[in-house]
């Protein structure tokens, strides 16, 4: 099936729409880079916005702080997400796993913000006895 020929006006309109879509995707990735939006917010927005939904998962992940091509590929492989997958194509379990992965990694990168684990000492410097 061939693409029908477009008039000059239709071609310009399509060009403007494509440029606007690229601009919106770049804004989303920049918001992730700067921390203005979280991964969870972007994934939620993708459910409502077709332009965001057509963004590749790997591009979104690489936009996160401290995530490059290698880490993004490893995470996607571990979570069984195809390298060419777009946000719209993620299943609910994959989406939840991505959010969990990067919430956990942000907490380990900022230990002051991470909750203490169960059984962690509450006071520092006080000797603790161990009953055996």
Helical spans, DSSP H, in 4-112:
8-34, 39-48, 50-53, 57-63, 69-78, 92-109
Is residue 118 scored above 50 in pLDDT?
no
Q: Which of 95, 88, 112, 108 is nearest to 25 (CA)?
A: 88
Q: How high is the pLDDT of residue 34? A: 92
Cα 53 from Cα 49, distance rounded (Å): 6
Confidence of residue 106 (pLDDT cuts 50, 70, 90): low
For residues 60 and 67, the answer to whether their CB atoms sit within 8 Å is: no
Q: Residues of the chain with pLDDT > 90: what percent?
A: 67
> pLDDT, tens digit, for every residue of 49-101?
999 999 999 999 999 999 999 999 999 999 999 999 999 999 999 999 999 98
Q: How high is the pLDDT of residue 100? A: 92
Cα 105 from Cα 72, distance rounded (Å): 13
Spatial CB neighbours of 114, under 8 Å, sequence gap ≥ 6: 107, 108
For residues 86 and 25, the answer to whether their CB atoms sit within 8 Å is: no
Looking at the DSSP bridge assignments, the partners of residue 56 are 86
Q: Where are the domains of the chain?
A: 15-108
Q: How high is the pLDDT of residue 105? A: 59
CATH of 15-108, one of 1.10.12.10, 3.40.50.150, 3.40.50.720, 1.10.8.50: 1.10.8.50
Confidence of residue 109 (pLDDT cuts 50, 70, 90): low
């Amino acid at each position: 099936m061939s693409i029908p020929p477009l008039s000059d006006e239709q071609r310009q309109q399509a060009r403007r729409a494509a440029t606007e879509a690229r601009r919106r995707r770049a804004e989303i990735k920049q918001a992730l880079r700067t921390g203005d939006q979280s991964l969870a917010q972007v994934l939620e927005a993708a459910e409502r916005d077709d332009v965001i939904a057509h963004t590749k998962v790997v591009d979104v992940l690489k936009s996160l702080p401290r995530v490059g091509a290698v880490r993004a590929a490893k995470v996607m492989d571990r979570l069984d997400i195809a390298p060419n997958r777009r946000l719209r194509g993620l299943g609910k379990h994959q989406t939840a796993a991505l959010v969990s992965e990067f919430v956990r990694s942000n907490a380990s990168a900022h230990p002051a913000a991470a909750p203490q684990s169960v059984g962690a000492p509450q006071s520092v410097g006080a000797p603790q006895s161990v009953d055996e």
